[in-house]
Amino acid sequence: MPMIDIQAVSKWYGPQFQVLKDCTTAVEKGEVVVVCGPSGSGKSTLIKCVNALEPFQSGAIHVDGINLQDPSTNLPKLRARIGMVFQHFELFPHLKITENLCLAQEKVLGRSRDEAMTKAMALLERVGLKDHSHKFPGQLSGGQQQRVAIARALAMDPIAMLFDEPTSALDPEMITEVLDVMVELAREGMTMMVVTHEMGFARKVAHRVIFMDKGEIIEDRPKEEFFGTPRSERAQVFLSKILAH
Amino acid sequence: MFSGFDFDVIWRSLPYLFWDGMSFTLMLTALSALGGLVLGTLLALMRLSNMRVLGAIATGYVNLMRSLPLVLVIFWFYFLVPYLGQMITGSERPLVVGAFSSALITFTLFEAAYFSEIMRAGIQSIPKGQVSAGYALGLTYRQVTGYIVLPQALRNMLPVILTQTIVLFQDTSLVYVLSITDFLGAASKVAQRDGRLIEMYLFAALVYFLISFAASRLVRALQAKTAIIR
């Protein structure tokens, strides 16, 4: 049974505009899947459906065997087991870095302050930001904030991690520091679904690449095949555009 | 120019003016601001909720309160609350509600409408991604609201909330119509008793001005301090 199972998911905004068309794919345990495609192709929407931040009208998504749309599913409980990293970091600006990492550990997992703090400090050390633990998010650079956001998600001991364009709001010189953390995570065997344009990252650690356009999954193939000879013309055009420089 | 005036009357009545009058005014201001903020926040959350009925109730309430003159509301509550209390408790006579309680209930209910608009703006100023991030961590609606949205909304809106409280401080003088001894009521009683209307009303205006002015300067100083670094 795959960790994330997406079956024929369709989503409309209003009666006319369809953002997702019959999307079907799966992410196995320990697998790293990169989702790419032109902007507006629905890749961010798809990843947000996986932890039910976005509703969808038809199809089904199972995470670790649990059906998202089953009314008896405890969504907060399920979401707590899936880490999510956002394009704009979304650290809580009124809380210190440590409080950002401890809040959900204490309120959702019921850990004690000490326990949560120990976990937080270990993770901050891992992303190289232990010295900044007492600061507020606004005092850190974009790259540092995104590393904190990854640490915050990891603090919940997630079974899978979702990344929604984690580097596209960053200045170029900060992208590497974030990707390094993600590469390390991938090599440790974390199940990851990553929406990104960073093809270097995809080549390095992805097992599979999904290419989306206009709400459809056009290609869903092992990395080597995808970068070797993309079958669809649209994927070829897309790749030639991002890899041109 | 001031030869016909007797400013000594102010000096003589100071303890009465401040000990009886001003303490009532300040107490009423503080408590109804607090009550209005709590109720107003609830109304704002109702208006922003997905539940249509709750939203409609809150919208109706806010629009009603904002369309009525405060003096009318004060009168109505003063005369109505005893009878409402009688209906609820089922006693034989109209319930005796003290002037302070009556004024407090009125101002809390009235100010809640204004605070709810302030809090609604404050809540809407929080980026949606903040809420998503909270949910993604497994927090519930209540937790996201209590730990993430409201603390930031309050911080962002603090200057506006305090400014509204200064307006409220001035508005509390309207309880004068119920012959309550707030600061203006006390000043007015002394003025009538001693026939020193000009002196007392001048002094009352000066006190209201000084307190309001000093408070708004304080708010400005505070504004810089409480801003969240983003």
Q: Could A53 and B132 be called an inter-chain contact, meaning their C-beta atoms sit closer than 8 Å? A: yes
Q: Could B228 and A94 be called an inter-chain contact, meaning their C-beta atoms sit closer than 8 Å? A: yes
Selecting from A53, A88, A139 the residue whose C-beta is nearest the C-beta of B135 gives A53
CA distance A95 to chain B (A): 9
What is the domain class of B15-185 according to CATH?
mainly alpha
In angstroms, the first-to-last Cα distance of chain B is 57
Q: What is the pLDDT of residue B90?
A: 81
Q: What is the pLDDT of residue A16?
A: 87
Between chain A and chain B, how many beta carbons pairs sit less than 8 Å apart? 74
CA atoms within 13 A on the CB side of A10: 10
Q: What is the pLDDT of residue A76?
A: 94
Which residues partner with B19 through β-bridges? none
Selecting from B138, B151, B230 the residue whose C-beta is nearest the C-beta of A138 gives B230
Going by C-alpha positions, the residue among A89, A96, A103 that lies closest to residue A134 is A96
Residues of A whose CB is below 8 A from B127: 88, 90
Q: Does B127 touch chain A (CB under 8 A)?
A: yes
pLDDT tens across the length of chain A (245 residues): 899 999 999 999 988 899 999 999 999 999 999 999 998 899 999 999 999 999 999 999 999 999 999 999 999 999 999 999 999 999 999 999 999 999 999 999 999 999 999 999 999 999 999 999 999 999 999 999 999 999 999 999 999 999 999 999 999 889 999 999 999 999 999 999 999 999 999 999 999 999 999 999 999 999 999 988 877 888 888 888 887 66
Average model confidence (pLDDT) for chain B?
90
CA distance A118 to chain B (A): 18
Q: Could A80 and B148 be called an inter-chain contact, meaning their C-beta atoms sit closer than 8 Å? A: no
Q: What is the pLDDT of residue B38?
A: 97
Q: Could A93 and B152 be called an inter-chain contact, meaning their C-beta atoms sit closer than 8 Å? A: yes
Selecting from B132, B143, B151 the residue whose C-beta is nearest the C-beta of A90 gives B132
Q: Between B187 and B88, whose confidence is greater?
A: B187
Selecting from B134, B139, B229 the residue whose C-beta is nearest the C-beta of A138 gives B229
Q: Does B137 touch chain A (CB under 8 A)?
A: yes
Distance separating alpha carbons of residues A158 and A104, to the nearest angstrom: 12
Distance separating alpha carbons of residues B37 and B40, to the nearest angstrom: 5
Residues of A whose CB is below 8 A from B134: 92
pTM: 0.89
Going by C-alpha positions, the residue among B50, B148, B132 that lies closest to residue A45 is B132
Q: Could B139 and A90 be called an inter-chain contact, meaning their C-beta atoms sit closer than 8 Å? A: no
Helical segments of chain B, H only: 8-15, 23-48, 52-66, 70-89, 99-124, 128-136, 141-143, 150-171, 183-194, 197-226
Q: Does B143 touch chain A (CB under 8 A)?
A: yes
Distance separating alpha carbons of residues A21 and A60, to the nearest angstrom: 13
Residue of A nearest to B147 (CA): A103
Distance separating alpha carbons of residues A98 and A148, to the nearest angstrom: 9
Q: What is the pLDDT of residue A231?
A: 78
Residue type at B222 in one-letter notation: L
Q: Rounding to the nearest 10 degrees, give the CA dihedral for residues B149, B153, B155, B157.
A: 180
Q: Could A94 and B152 be called an inter-chain contact, meaning their C-beta atoms sit closer than 8 Å? A: yes
Q: What is the pLDDT of residue B230?
A: 64
Distance separating alpha carbons of residues A65 and A67, to the nearest angstrom: 6
pLDDT at B194 over 90: no
Q: Could A84 and B143 be called an inter-chain contact, meaning their C-beta atoms sit closer than 8 Å? A: no
Q: Does B140 touch chain A (CB under 8 A)?
A: yes
Beta carbons of B100 and B24 less than 8 angstroms apart: yes
Disruptive mutation site among B131, B135, B137 for chain A (greatest number of A CBs within 10 Å): B137
B64-77 pLDDT per residue, tens: 999 999 999 998 88
B80-95 pLDDT per residue, tens: 878 888 888 888 888 7
Residues of B whose CB is below 8 A from A49: none
For A131, other C-beta atoms within 10 Å of its C-beta total: 9
Q: Between B57 and A234, whose confidence is greater?
A: B57
Q: Which helix (H) or strand (E) holds A34?
A: strand A32-36
Residues of B whose CB is below 8 A from A104: 137-139
Residues of B whose CB is below 8 A from A81: 138
Q: What is the total residue count of chain A?
A: 245
Distance separating alpha carbons of residues B224 and A61, to the nearest angstrom: 47
